[in-house]
Structure 1
Amino acid sequence: MSKKCKNRKNRKSHMGSSIDDFLKEEGIFEETQAHAVKEVVAWQLDEAMKKQKISKNKMATLLKTSRTQVDRLLNPKNDITLSSLQRAAAMVGRRVMIELV
């Protein structure tokens, strides 16, 4: 079997499966899911700040922290504590809901 045919066969092995199945097979499902959650949370916080016209500097003042810490909150590459997220959410009139499934 030629190399081209083998590659085509490998690509077709995932046809019909879900993205979750593919990520699980690759061993990166949990990591990818965690990153996606962080992306969404950072986006939601940023959107809430924009809606209420709260700048990063103003948010830092409200949270009694530095602008750098606010940047960390809004960057999904960073890990943040639940208490930091709850405080930030409260400043924009939101709350954090976590569910174990």
Structure 2
Amino acid sequence: MADNIERGSVGSSFDDFLKEQGTLEETTAQAIKRVLAYQLAEAMKEKRISKVEMARKLATSRSQLDRLLDPEQDGVTLGTLSRAAEVLGRKLTVNLQ
């Protein structure tokens, strides 16, 4: 079994693999959006805020809110995320590493 492992690949990070594949940025962005969509949906459940009420508080349509909560939709602005967090009593934080 050890003969089948390429030299240098043992101990490599998943990030290194994604970089080699050329998909690190895209994969990271998708993962971040999935986490944010999940956190927003959970906060809505916790606060017992329906989608209709949340859309009204954001002054947007229900379909726009569905896009915000859809983990596959990555075209969400920071402003929209920040407003949604504020409605839910949360704060959006972004940092560069």
Give TM class, smaller chain.
Answer: 0.7 to 0.9
Q: Which residue type is aligned with residue 81 of structure 1?
A: T
Q: Distance between the aligned counterparts of 1:40 and 1:88, measured in 2?
A: 14
Q: Answer yes or no: is 1:75 the counterpart of 2:82.
A: no
Q: Distance between the aligned counterparts of 1:33 and 1:55, measured in 2?
A: 29
Structure 1 unaligned segments of length 5 or more: list them.
Answer: 1-7
User: What residue is the counterpart of 2:15 in the other structure?
Assistant: 20
User: What residue is the counterpart of 2:91 in the other structure?
Assistant: 95
Q: Distance between the aligned counterparts of 1:58 and 1:69, measured in 2?
A: 13
| Higher relative contact order structure (alpha carbons within 8 Å, sequence separation ≥ 6) | 2
Q: How far did 1:16 drift?
A: 2.3
* Structure 1 segment 1-101 matched on structure 2, within 5 A: 9=4, 12-13=5-6, 14-78=9-73, 79-101=75-97
Q: How far did 1:15 drift?
A: 3.1
In the TM superposition, structure 1's runs of 4+ consecutive aligned residues that sit over 4 Å from their partners are none
SS in 1 for 2:12: coil
Cα RMSD for the two superposed structures? 1.3
Q: Distance between the aligned counterparts of 1:16 and 1:71, measured in 2?
A: 40
TM-score by length of 2: 0.87
Q: Which residue type is aligned with residue 43 of structure 1?
A: Y
Q: Identity, % of aligned pairs?
A: 52
Q: Distance between the aligned counterparts of 2:15 and 2:76, measured in 1?
A: 25
More helix by share: 1
Which has the higher Rg, Structure 1 or Structure 2? 1
TM-score by length of 1: 0.84
